[in-house]
Amino acid sequence: MQRNREALVALALGFSAILGCSRPAVETKDNTAQTVATTPDPTSSIATTRGCTNPPAKMDGPEGVVCQFLEAMRAGDDQKTEALFTAAARKRIQEEKIAVAPRGSDTVRFELGKVEYLPDDGARVACKCSDLDADGEKHTDEMTVMVRKEADGWRVAGMALTVFDGEDPVLLNFEEPKEVQEKLGRVRQEIARRLANEAGQAQRPEDSASPVQR
């Protein structure tokens, strides 16, 4: 492959694989386990934009919610990230007891791109996200965040990630969180398979060039 796949895993999957395995439970006074379901108002405080290189002037449009969403992911803020999902996504996440646990990163930076408005109060926001690999080299990848306007404002419904050059993006529908987990698992397996193939191809020329030991 042309680029360092480990860096892409850290960026496209590590940064974006925000749905964990299970939601922690708490005990109520009657010792009945209940899931933690906190959905604070994401507009209750001014969002920081440390990770965004071109934050919008206003945060109440599609670009604003995507800026806040990606910043919450970058900061590892699980409550803010979940609060910025659509109502349908939050409902399914809570019903299926899936934890929202974004892997924060101090080095991720993102740039907002073109906004495309869609029928039925939808929109797509193009983004470029960059991070540093283990060698300190910068890698940039593209994604598109799908948002929908609801009673509480614009909220995030899904995401499309370009994982392999020249191939279709991976579509993540956050309103189907189990499906998101399964897709990310398959992508990780495919990346591991391709890396293993690359390692094998790199090893074979070395083996053929080595002298035969008798």
Tens digit of each residue's pLDDT (9 = 90 or more) over 83-93: 999 999 999 99
Q: Are 127 and 68 in contact (CB under 8 A)?
A: no
Q: To which H or E segment does residue 123 belong?
A: strand 122-132
Q: Domains plus CATH for the chain?
A: 5-20+36-206 (3.10.450.50)
**Confidence band, pLDDT 50/70/90 cuts, at residue 22:** low
- Can you give the length of the chain in residues? 214
pLDDT of residue 192: 85
Q: Which of 8, 17, 18, 12 is nearest to 134 (CA)?
A: 8
**Burial class for 58, CB neighbours closer than 10 Å (0-12, 13-18, 19+):** exposed
pLDDT of residue 99: 83
108/106 Cα distance (integer angstroms): 6
**DSSP secondary-structure letter at 19?**
B
pTM for this prediction: 0.77
Percent of the chain with pLDDT over 90: 37
Say yes or no to pLDDT of 3 above 50: no
5/3 Cα distance (integer angstroms): 6
Q: Are 138 and 68 in contact (CB under 8 A)?
A: no
Tens digit of each residue's pLDDT (9 = 90 or more) over 139-169: 888 899 999 999 999 999 999 988 887 889 8
